[in-house]
Amino acid sequence: MNAIKDSVHDWIPLDPVAADLLDTEAVQRLRHIKQLSTVRLVYPSASHTRFEHSLGVYHLARQALDHLDVDADRAAHVRAAALLHDVGHGPYGHQTEEVIRRHAGTDHDELGDLLYRTDLPGVLERHGLDPERVVALVRGDGELGQLVSGELDVDRMDYLVRDAHHTGVPYGTIDHGRLVRELRYRDGRLVLAEGNVQTAESLLLARALMDGIVYRHHVSRIAGSMLERACERLLDAGTDVAEFRRMADHDLLVELREAVPELGGRVERRDLYKRAVWAGLDRVPDAVTELDRDDERAAAREIADAAGVDREHVLVDAPARPDLKESRTRVVVDGVVQRLEQASELVGALRATRRAQWRLGVYAPVDEQDAVHEAARDVLGLP
């Protein structure tokens, strides 16, 4: 059996299906999609890829399946789904999802649609696997789909520890070995076995800390907003969205540098806009926290007009209200399955922390920062 040396999990053994899937063009493309998109402008060592992450998810799925005592055929389908779960992502991963959704109706290539434009089905079928069953597992369907996409999925377990490793921060470190060993099925739901409330809390805490320190770092958010606006302009200018979402990161940067140099070039050089507004929930009217992308664009235009600056020089970034998806993790307590939010007092404190960390951002070039700040206060009704 082949094996690949991994920076997080050490040696990852490959079954014959995985070895053949790795050689496909669709999976090799993931070598050129960075896992943390604009976060690497903050943490220079965060240059790991979705290819590495996909291997890690495959590895943890394999370990979990061994402990869950799943039969060979079902386990083979789950391992394939774990390896392929990210092949539909566009350049810069989650950073371009909203742009792709507005132009194509979905935020990335659905595996079911992508599958038959690649050589993936032939590889799966040669090994006796049903491509449609693999697609359903990637969607999170059924008992075993929860292992690939759910509150206790191996996707989250890998990216937390991998992102912490490559950024150099300790906050995402979790005991993924214990997590995969303690997974059980109760009434068709994936749960953590008795005595694992603290194990579930560690996953929740790691996600909350990484969110504030890594994933939502203000520099990454500014760069992400600039990148998203540049991509909108690229697609509005006529670039085909199907071609766009099959690009690799470097392909997109080249396109943006040439087509939208005032934004794409600045992202490439890390010559970023600055924060004209950075306001918490207690300073922002409720209506502002619920702005959708069209509302953000309209508000940015209004702020720019009020400040007397170019409309392309103002970006409004109103993230969704904070949510703790991991708080819905199911754990067994005294023989009864409970959601973590019922079993843990820590959940309430972390919810309050996430609310305190939420920030509305308005960004502009440094020489227009003050004018945009004053205009944004008036337009958005900030104190």
DSSP calls for 138-201:
HHT-HHHHHHHSSTT-HHHHHHHHHHHHHHT-STT---HHHHHHTEEEETTEEEEPTT-HHHHH
166 assigned to some structural domain: yes
Predicted model pTM: 0.93
- Cβ neighbours for 286, distance < 8 A, ≥ 6 positions apart: none
Q: pLDDT at residue 1 above 70?
A: no
pLDDT of amino acid 109: 53
Query: If 0-12 CB within 10 Å is exposed, 13-18 middle and 19+ buried, where does residue 212 land?
Result: middle
Please state the domain count of the chain. 1
258 assigned to some structural domain: no
> 325: which DSSP letter?
G
The structure tokens listed for 18 are: 């995985």
280 assigned to some structural domain: no
Q: Averaged over 217-246, what is the pLDDT?
A: 94
pLDDT band at 261 (very low <50, low <70, confident <90, very high): very high
Q: Count CB-CB contacts under 10 A for residue 104.
A: 16
168 assigned to some structural domain: yes
CATH of residue 142: 1.10.3210.10
pLDDT of amino acid 173: 84
- As a whole number of angstroms, the distance between CA 159 and CA 156 comes to 5
Q: Averaged over 307-317, what is the pLDDT?
A: 97
281 assigned to some structural domain: no
- Cβ neighbours for 294, distance < 8 A, ≥ 6 positions apart: none
298 assigned to some structural domain: no
Q: Which range of residues forms the domain containing residue 77?
A: 2-214
Residue 14 backbone dihedrals phi, psi, to 5 degrees:
-110, 130
pLDDT band at 26 (very low <50, low <70, confident <90, very high): very high
284 assigned to some structural domain: no
270 assigned to some structural domain: no
pLDDT of amino acid 219: 97
Per-residue pLDDT tens digits for 272-295: 999 999 999 999 999 999 999 899
Q: Averaged over 257-276, what is the pLDDT?
A: 95
Closest-CA residue to 20 (of 129, 181, 179): 129
The structure tokens listed for 232 are: 């909108």
pLDDT of amino acid 102: 86
Cβ contact 330:338 at 8 Å: yes
Per-residue pLDDT tens digits for 99-150: 988 888 775 556 767 777 888 999 999 999 999 999 999 999 999 999 999 9
